[in-house]
Structure 1
Amino acid sequence: MDTARAGSDICRRRIGQFLDQDSFVELESLVTANGLTFGPERKKAAGDGVVMGYGTIDGRMVYLAAQDPDVHGGSIGKAHADKIARALQLACDAQVPFIGLYDTGGARIEEGILGLEGLGNLLASLNASAGLIPRIAAVYGPCAGGAAYAAALSDFVLMADKGSGLFMNGPMVVSAHENKSIAAADIGGSAVHAQKTGLASLTASDEAGLAERIKLLMAYIPDSGMGFIQPVDGPDDPNRTEDRLDELAATLDDGYDMREIVRLTVDTDSFLELSDRYAPGMVTGLARLGGRTVGVLAQAERRVSQAMAAKAVRLAGLCQKLNLPLITFVDAEGYTIGLSDEWNGLVQSGADLMQAMLQLDIPRLAVIVGKAIGTAYLTFSGKSCGTDLVYAWPTAEIAVVNADTAAHIIYRKEIAAAADPITARTDFVRKYEDEIASPYVAASLGHVDEVILPSATRPRLISALDMLTTAY
């Protein structure tokens, strides 16, 4: 047995890039592989390819497990998997986050069913920890098949442009199937999961950047599903108003940046967008509001696609597991229109999103910035569908369909009979906007709690959060 912990220098270097100096304490460093083997017996290594233990990041405790690619290619045997599962359990017991540093060639073939069951135990442990503690998967190298599941079952997936990979089937298998050589990065690299699948929450250019991403994310996530051990008061004034929001509202129909609205509302420089390159029409992320971490869900495009809906489902689930309030900024007039959308399951995607929102048991606040039409209104801001408090800007439009469509349907005979149909249509659209779709009408019926000045959005939300915190 190699008692020098072969190759562990790479793990210690990676760990040292984000843990506080001299804070790491290793556990189970002498564990070795045992059980079935097939073929030439491999030299046993102390630690069996996993460096596991605990340490601190900015003084906050975390448990972690790092796979060592220099020990049997980081392959997962039973003892290897059990060490990672043990770190997860210890993190749950301590009610602190878990960080997995994944870099593996997959299941250890010579261990047969023992290796498979070890992997199964690890995946079951990840599933059991959901909602108890935050789980960060930092993907440093390739991970295929069941090993990729370990990352995908986590709350956050972080990847580096250089070296990281998540695949259901390895590059050689995919290349053989496609009958051409395909680079690993083009199958499951960081760009693929940042742009095409949305699995990557955050990306970095290299390992040093990945470590910085871990530290950045840790500043937002709670210690456990029960919240922060030591809540942090934000330095930003909770009563700060933003005149720029009034300016944006005045020219809303000329185009605007929803991300700017989010950034101006939350604590200064605190918006951390997640999966920003995937389905960018749906804005998802974490932010601080009055020093409190919240989830943010907003529409940058008015029609919701299947990918946008899936992205929103993921954010809603994250907020539920980590017990984070959810703030929605609403400007949506429905779902994408097209035959391919219908054939590809748009109804189910919309229903999945509605169900995800209905099942939330966390504080929910909505700000209707622009349009809130039909099921989009119900999903993102409907009180009947779980929103606790609804604020609307004077620019909001709330209805079954948009005013232009409604006027055409309801007043089509009057428009056709008018001497000037174009002017008549404009007048009827305005009539519907004023008498049906106005936020003041919704407020008079109790479905909007208050129509607010855009500049007052931030203090209103912070006050509502303070109130709702005592109710949950």
Structure 2
Amino acid sequence: MGSQEKLSAYLEKQAALEAAGTEGSACRQRIRQLLDEDSFVELDSLVTGRGLNFGFAREPVAGDGVVTGYGTIEGRMVYVAAQDASVYGGSVGQMHAEKISKAIDLANAAQVPFIGLYETGGARIDEGIIGLEGLGHVMASMNAASGEIPLLAGVFGPCAGGAAYLAALSDFVLMTKEKSGLFMNGPMVVSGVENKSIEAADIGGAAVHAGETGLASMVASDETDLIARLKLLLSYLPDSAEGFIYPRDSQDDPNRTDPRLDEIAARLDQGVDMREIIRSVMDIDTFLELSPDYASGVVTGLARLDGTTVGVLANAAARLDSRSADKAVQILQICERFRLPVITLTNAEGYEISLAAEKGGLLRDGALLMRAMLESSVPRLSLIVGKAIGTAYLTMSGKSCGTDMVYAWPTAEIAIVNADTAAHIIYRKEIAAAADPASARNEFVEKYASELASADVAAGLGHVDEVIRPAYSRLYLISALNMLTQAE
């Protein structure tokens, strides 16, 4: 075949692909929405499957059900792999898997983010072990890239079995409210074992992974919203673990004060939504909450502080539980991987008190959180707004456990146990002998709180760097962050 014939054959093949609708497939539309216009460069478009066709009569399809390549998002280079559910249900065969693995490896070599757009029926069973080994190669590539580059997953449909690991091994998992699904075993398998009909959404839908497992970082209303969230999330992340975070000029005054924080501090005994404090001290409209429906005892997310991306961890309940510890570990690991400073906002009496919690592994989970704090090597700032008691204090704000700078509001209570418990233990004889035990107890509680558990006492001992007016919290955090990041 001469040169002219080869060119003609190539053009005919491309025309046939377009006529078959592959150019207009959902996965390609997702890529177009995600990337800058005309920036996508496809790789391995002619790769076909190598299935054994056991029990199936499948014709090889160019691309083998996944589109891979690279492009830009707001000018930043990324690699992308998008599964095509119109080809064999998006099932993962050997070459399908090898294409994804190659894209991840190339992204890692280039030190740029990798984004997977997933929708798959699982492993291609007619390929047998070669398909399974291909899937193993993807997992190995993801493991090699983990902690090196951001791994983002957008889940657009059901993802079953080992193929669901493609999303689960990512740093961030985004799902749509109605269509997404991630599960080890699909509805037919689970229904058979449970001997009743169970829907896919009840096994691994967005609500399950947002509220029960904590796997879903965000839940989008639809595909367009999911892609917009992927792009927004990427804007907070560097290209790689040692990479440069593209600068975002802060639209917020670094010297801004907020008198509302004084009001919040004054009514702290009545309870507080920590999100109010987070939004006040961070740059306006930059707090991006992660897994908001999972483990409500803590609030986690990314934000910008004077234009710098930071991780945020705040207590939202009086006591930490196992799930809260797990969620806290997740944000600490993200910050450690990508060298993001951590800001903790502390208001916790300790850990959950119950037999079920102890039997459920509370000590193990609390220790894992402590280890994550101790192993953290990024700048860490803490703002104690209320209670910081016992191991909750050490975990969230302890300078001995790696916190670089600790600020406290005058409302802070910092002690080994809360004042009420301490007074009951230390002054139990005096309380029992008093003419009015209730009044005596209150007096001793106040005595312990002011003489041993106040922010001033902790500052006097050097465990708090400064007691600050709540309204000035943002100024102090920005100043400390600038100092610590320059030291880096």
TM-score range, shorter chain: over 0.9
SS at match of 1:101: strand
Task: Report matched runs for 1:422-441 at 5 Å.
Answer: 422-441=438-457
Task: Report matched runs for 1:22-171 at 5 Å.
Answer: 22-34=38-50, 36-171=52-187
What root-mean-square deviation, in Å, do the aligned CA atoms of Structure 1 and Structure 2 show? 1.4
Quote the offset at 1:228 in angstroms. Answer: 2.6
Separation in structure 1 between the aligned mates of residue 248 and residue 224 of structure 2, nearest angstrom: 27
Separation in structure 2 between the aligned mates of residue 381 and residue 149 of structure 1, nearest angstrom: 35
Separation in structure 2 between the aligned mates of residue 471 and residue 173 of structure 1, nearest angstrom: 55
Residue 191 of structure 1 pairs with residue 204 of structure 2: no
Report the TM-score, using the length of structure 1 for normalisation: 0.97
Separation in structure 2 between the aligned mates of residue 205 and residue 254 of structure 1, nearest angstrom: 34
Separation in structure 2 between the aligned mates of residue 227 and residue 191 of structure 1, nearest angstrom: 34
Runs of 4+ in structure 1 off by over 2 angstroms are: 5-8, 34-41, 227-233
Q: Report what 2:377 is aligned to.
A: 361
Separation in structure 2 between the aligned mates of residue 378 and residue 36 of structure 1, nearest angstrom: 58
SS at match of 2:105: helix
Check whether the contact 2:150–2:240 (CA below 8 A) recurs between aligned residues.
Answer: yes
Q: Report what 1:4 is aligned to.
A: 17
Separation in structure 2 between the aligned mates of residue 339 and residue 245 of structure 1, nearest angstrom: 37
SS at match of 1:375: helix
SS at match of 2:17: coil
Please tell me the residue identity of whatever aligns with 1:4. Answer: L
Name which of 461, 468, 471 aligns with 2:484. Answer: 468
Task: Report matched runs for 1:303-322 at 5 Å.
Answer: 303-322=319-338
Residue 174 of structure 1 pairs with residue 187 of structure 2: no
Quote the offset at 1:36 in angstroms. Answer: 4.2
Residue 287 of structure 1 pairs with residue 266 of structure 2: no
> Deviations along 1:79-123, whole A, 9 cap, x unmatched?
111111111112112222111001111111111111111101101
Separation in structure 2 between the aligned mates of residue 230 and residue 190 of structure 1, nearest angstrom: 31
Please tell me the residue identity of whatever aligns with 1:58. Answer: E
Please tell me the residue identity of whatever aligns with 1:254. Answer: Q
> Deviations along 1:386-444, whole A, 9 cap, x unmatched?
11111111110000000000000000001111111111111111111111101111111
Please tell me the residue identity of whatever aligns with 2:483. Answer: M
Separation in structure 1 between the aligned mates of residue 180 and residue 322 of structure 2, nearest angstrom: 27
Percent identity, please: 66
Please tell me the residue identity of whatever aligns with 1:331. Answer: N
Check whether the contact 1:91–1:97 (CA below 8 A) recurs between aligned residues.
Answer: yes
Quote the offset at 1:229 in angstroms. Answer: 5.1
Name stretches of at least 5 consecutive residues in structure 1 with no aligned partner.
Answer: none
Name which of 21, 28, 33 aligns with 2:37. Answer: 21
SS at match of 2:410: coil
Residue 337 of structure 1 pairs with residue 350 of structure 2: no
Quote the offset at 1:231 in angstroms. Answer: 2.4
Please tell me the residue identity of whatever aligns with 1:438. Answer: S
Q: Report what 2:6 is aligned to.
A: none
Quote the offset at 1:49 in angstroms. Answer: 0.8
Separation in structure 2 between the aligned mates of residue 280 and residue 22 of structure 1, nearest angstrom: 42
Separation in structure 2 between the aligned mates of residue 176 and residue 300 of structure 1, nearest angstrom: 40
Please tell me the residue identity of whatever aligns with 1:224. Answer: S
Check whether the contact 2:238–2:246 (CA below 8 A) recurs between aligned residues.
Answer: no
Check whether the contact 1:233–1:292 (CA below 8 A) recurs between aligned residues.
Answer: no
Separation in structure 1 between the aligned mates of residue 277 and residue 318 of structure 2, nearest angstrom: 15
Please tell me the residue identity of whatever aligns with 1:247. Answer: E
SS at match of 1:39: coil
Separation in structure 2 between the aligned mates of residue 35 and residue 420 of structure 1, nearest angstrom: 84
Residue 412 of structure 1 pairs with residue 428 of structure 2: yes
Quote the offset at 1:33 in angstroms. Answer: 1.4
Report the TM-score, using the length of structure 2 for normalisation: 0.94
Name stretches of at least 5 consecutive residues in structure 2 with no aligned partner.
Answer: 1-12
Separation in structure 2 between the aligned mates of residue 428 and residue 467 of structure 1, nearest angstrom: 41
**Inter-CA distance 79–391: structure 2 relative to 1 (3 Å threshold):** same
User: 4-13 or 295-304: which moved more?
Assistant: 4-13
